[in-house]
Amino acid sequence: MIRYYIRVSSIEQKTDRQLVAYKEADKVYIDKMSGANKDRPRLKEMLEELKENDIVVVKSLDRLSRSTKDLLDIVSEIENKKAILKVLDRNIDTSDAMGRFFLTILGAVAELELANIKQRREEGIAIAKENGIYKGRKVGSIELKGERLERFKKFYNLGMNKTDLAKEFEVPRCTVYRWIKVLQDRNEIN
Protein backbone atom coordinates (compact mmCIF):
# COMPACT_ATOMS: atom_id res chain seq x y z
CA MET A 1 0.00 0.00 0.00
CA ILE A 2 1.22 3.51 -0.82
CA ARG A 3 0.58 5.99 1.98
CA TYR A 4 1.03 9.67 1.12
CA TYR A 5 1.67 11.99 4.07
CA ILE A 6 0.95 15.70 3.63
CA ARG A 7 1.57 18.44 6.18
CA VAL A 8 1.05 22.19 6.17
CA SER A 9 1.90 24.40 9.13
CA SER A 10 -1.51 25.94 9.78
CA ILE A 11 -5.20 25.48 9.10
CA GLU A 12 -5.23 28.35 6.60
CA GLN A 13 -2.50 26.88 4.40
CA LYS A 14 -3.54 24.90 1.37
CA THR A 15 -2.47 21.33 0.58
CA ASP A 16 -3.00 21.67 -3.19
CA ARG A 17 0.70 21.84 -4.11
CA GLN A 18 1.39 18.58 -2.29
CA LEU A 19 -1.78 16.85 -3.52
CA VAL A 20 -0.93 17.63 -7.16
CA ALA A 21 2.66 16.38 -6.72
CA TYR A 22 1.65 12.73 -6.28
CA LYS A 23 -1.52 10.97 -7.34
CA GLU A 24 -0.74 7.24 -7.02
CA ALA A 25 -1.42 6.98 -3.28
CA ASP A 26 -3.80 4.37 -1.91
CA LYS A 27 -4.37 6.52 1.19
CA VAL A 28 -3.62 10.16 1.96
CA TYR A 29 -2.96 11.54 5.47
CA ILE A 30 -3.12 15.31 6.03
CA ASP A 31 -1.98 17.21 9.14
CA LYS A 32 -2.39 20.97 9.44
CA MET A 33 0.07 21.80 12.18
CA SER A 34 3.73 22.56 12.82
CA GLY A 35 6.39 20.06 11.79
CA ALA A 36 8.32 20.94 14.93
CA ASN A 37 5.83 18.81 16.85
CA LYS A 38 6.11 15.06 16.27
CA ASP A 39 2.78 14.47 18.01
CA ARG A 40 0.50 14.86 14.95
CA PRO A 41 -2.73 12.84 14.74
CA ARG A 42 -2.60 11.84 11.07
CA LEU A 43 1.13 11.04 11.24
CA LYS A 44 0.46 8.78 14.25
CA GLU A 45 -2.44 7.14 12.43
CA MET A 46 -0.29 6.48 9.37
CA LEU A 47 2.55 5.00 11.42
CA GLU A 48 0.12 2.77 13.34
CA GLU A 49 -1.51 1.50 10.12
CA LEU A 50 1.82 0.89 8.40
CA LYS A 51 2.43 -2.70 7.25
CA GLU A 52 5.38 -4.59 5.82
CA ASN A 53 6.22 -3.57 2.22
CA ASP A 54 4.13 -0.39 2.43
CA ILE A 55 5.60 2.76 0.92
CA VAL A 56 5.38 6.11 2.72
CA VAL A 57 5.62 9.05 0.33
CA VAL A 58 6.23 12.72 1.23
CA LYS A 59 6.78 15.65 -1.11
CA SER A 60 9.74 16.95 0.89
CA LEU A 61 11.56 16.09 4.11
CA ASP A 62 10.35 19.16 5.97
CA ARG A 63 6.76 17.93 5.51
CA LEU A 64 7.68 14.88 7.61
CA SER A 65 9.65 16.74 10.31
CA ARG A 66 11.59 19.92 11.08
CA SER A 67 13.89 18.15 13.55
CA THR A 68 16.65 15.77 12.47
CA LYS A 69 16.12 13.66 15.60
CA ASP A 70 12.36 13.39 15.01
CA LEU A 71 12.94 12.70 11.32
CA LEU A 72 15.33 9.86 12.10
CA ASP A 73 12.90 8.50 14.73
CA ILE A 74 10.06 8.52 12.18
CA VAL A 75 12.24 6.88 9.52
CA SER A 76 13.34 4.27 12.06
CA GLU A 77 9.71 3.52 12.88
CA ILE A 78 8.94 3.14 9.17
CA GLU A 79 11.92 0.82 8.70
CA ASN A 80 11.08 -1.22 11.82
CA LYS A 81 7.77 -2.04 10.18
CA LYS A 82 9.74 -3.11 7.08
CA ALA A 83 8.27 -0.28 5.02
CA ILE A 84 10.02 2.22 2.74
CA LEU A 85 10.12 6.03 2.69
CA LYS A 86 10.23 7.94 -0.59
CA VAL A 87 10.85 11.70 -0.71
CA LEU A 88 9.67 13.12 -4.02
CA ASP A 89 11.60 16.39 -4.35
CA ARG A 90 15.00 14.78 -3.65
CA ASN A 91 14.32 11.38 -5.18
CA ILE A 92 15.23 9.67 -1.90
CA ASP A 93 14.33 6.05 -1.32
CA THR A 94 15.24 4.44 2.02
CA SER A 95 15.24 0.95 0.56
CA ASP A 96 19.03 1.25 0.14
CA ALA A 97 21.94 2.48 2.27
CA MET A 98 22.71 5.49 0.03
CA GLY A 99 19.11 6.72 0.35
CA ARG A 100 19.23 6.46 4.14
CA PHE A 101 22.59 8.28 4.24
CA PHE A 102 21.35 11.08 1.97
CA LEU A 103 18.20 11.42 4.08
CA THR A 104 20.25 11.90 7.26
CA ILE A 105 22.41 14.60 5.65
CA LEU A 106 19.42 16.52 4.26
CA GLY A 107 17.61 16.36 7.60
CA ALA A 108 20.63 17.86 9.37
CA VAL A 109 20.93 20.63 6.75
CA ALA A 110 17.22 21.50 7.09
CA GLU A 111 17.54 21.72 10.88
CA LEU A 112 20.63 23.95 10.56
CA GLU A 113 18.79 26.29 8.18
CA LEU A 114 15.86 26.59 10.60
CA ALA A 115 18.26 27.42 13.46
CA ASN A 116 19.98 30.07 11.28
CA ILE A 117 16.63 31.68 10.43
CA LYS A 118 15.70 31.87 14.13
CA GLN A 119 19.09 33.36 15.03
CA ARG A 120 18.86 36.01 12.26
CA ARG A 121 15.33 36.93 13.37
CA GLU A 122 16.43 37.31 17.01
CA GLU A 123 19.43 39.45 16.00
CA GLY A 124 17.20 41.66 13.84
CA ILE A 125 14.72 42.15 16.67
CA ALA A 126 17.54 43.02 19.12
CA ILE A 127 18.90 45.67 16.72
CA ALA A 128 15.42 47.08 16.09
CA LYS A 129 14.80 47.29 19.88
CA GLU A 130 18.11 49.15 20.38
CA ASN A 131 17.07 51.65 17.71
CA GLY A 132 13.60 52.08 19.24
CA ILE A 133 11.91 50.66 16.15
CA TYR A 134 10.63 47.41 17.64
CA LYS A 135 8.36 47.71 20.62
CA GLY A 136 7.17 44.11 20.72
CA ARG A 137 4.01 42.67 19.31
CA LYS A 138 0.71 44.45 19.66
CA VAL A 139 -1.26 43.86 22.82
CA GLY A 140 -3.64 41.04 22.05
CA SER A 141 -5.68 40.40 25.14
CA ILE A 142 -9.40 40.06 24.71
CA GLU A 143 -9.96 43.78 24.22
CA LEU A 144 -13.01 43.23 22.11
CA LYS A 145 -15.89 45.23 23.50
CA GLY A 146 -19.04 46.82 22.22
CA GLU A 147 -19.27 47.38 18.47
CA ARG A 148 -15.80 45.92 17.81
CA LEU A 149 -16.75 42.67 19.55
CA GLU A 150 -20.00 42.39 17.59
CA ARG A 151 -18.16 43.11 14.32
CA PHE A 152 -15.57 40.41 15.09
CA LYS A 153 -18.28 37.82 15.87
CA LYS A 154 -20.15 38.77 12.69
CA PHE A 155 -17.07 38.45 10.46
CA TYR A 156 -16.06 35.19 12.15
CA ASN A 157 -19.54 33.69 11.75
CA LEU A 158 -19.57 34.72 8.08
CA GLY A 159 -16.47 32.57 7.63
CA MET A 160 -13.76 35.23 7.27
CA ASN A 161 -10.38 33.48 7.53
CA LYS A 162 -7.97 34.16 10.39
CA THR A 163 -5.49 36.09 8.24
CA ASP A 164 -8.18 38.51 7.03
CA LEU A 165 -9.54 38.87 10.58
CA ALA A 166 -6.05 39.76 11.79
CA LYS A 167 -5.71 42.42 9.07
CA GLU A 168 -9.18 43.80 9.71
CA PHE A 169 -8.59 44.16 13.47
CA GLU A 170 -4.89 45.06 13.11
CA VAL A 171 -3.62 42.33 15.42
CA PRO A 172 -1.33 39.30 14.94
CA ARG A 173 -3.02 36.09 13.79
CA CYS A 174 -2.15 34.41 17.09
CA THR A 175 -4.32 37.04 18.80
CA VAL A 176 -7.23 36.11 16.54
CA TYR A 177 -6.81 32.47 17.61
CA ARG A 178 -6.76 33.55 21.26
CA TRP A 179 -9.91 35.70 20.78
CA ILE A 180 -11.69 32.80 19.10
CA LYS A 181 -10.79 30.44 21.95
CA VAL A 182 -11.97 32.90 24.60
CA LEU A 183 -15.22 33.57 22.75
CA GLN A 184 -15.80 29.85 22.25
CA ASP A 185 -15.15 29.24 25.95
CA ARG A 186 -17.78 31.91 26.67
CA ASN A 187 -20.17 30.21 24.19
CA GLU A 188 -20.41 33.46 22.21
CA ILE A 189 -19.31 31.79 18.94
CA ASN A 190 -19.12 28.21 17.66
Q: Could you give the dihedral angle defined by the CA atoms of residues 21, 91, 13 and 121, in that order, rounded to the nearest 10 degrees?
A: -150
Q: Provide the 3-class DSSP secondary structure of residue 58.
A: strand
Quote the percentage of the chain above a pLDDT of 70: 94
Q: Which of 58, 49, 54 is nearest to 84 (CA)?
A: 54
Using DSSP's 3-state secondary structure scheme, residue 55 falls into strand
Active site residue 9: yes
In this prediction, residue 69 carries a pLDDT of 78
138: pLDDT strictly greater than 60: no
Q: Is the pTM of this model over 0.85?
A: no
Note the pLDDT of residue 71: 83
Report whether 42 contacts 5 (CB < 8 A). Answer: yes
Average pLDDT over residues 146-156: 84
pLDDT, average across residues 114-141: 80
pLDDT digits (tens, 9 = 90+) for 2-52: 999 999 887 778 888 898 889 899 999 999 888 877 889 999 999 999 999
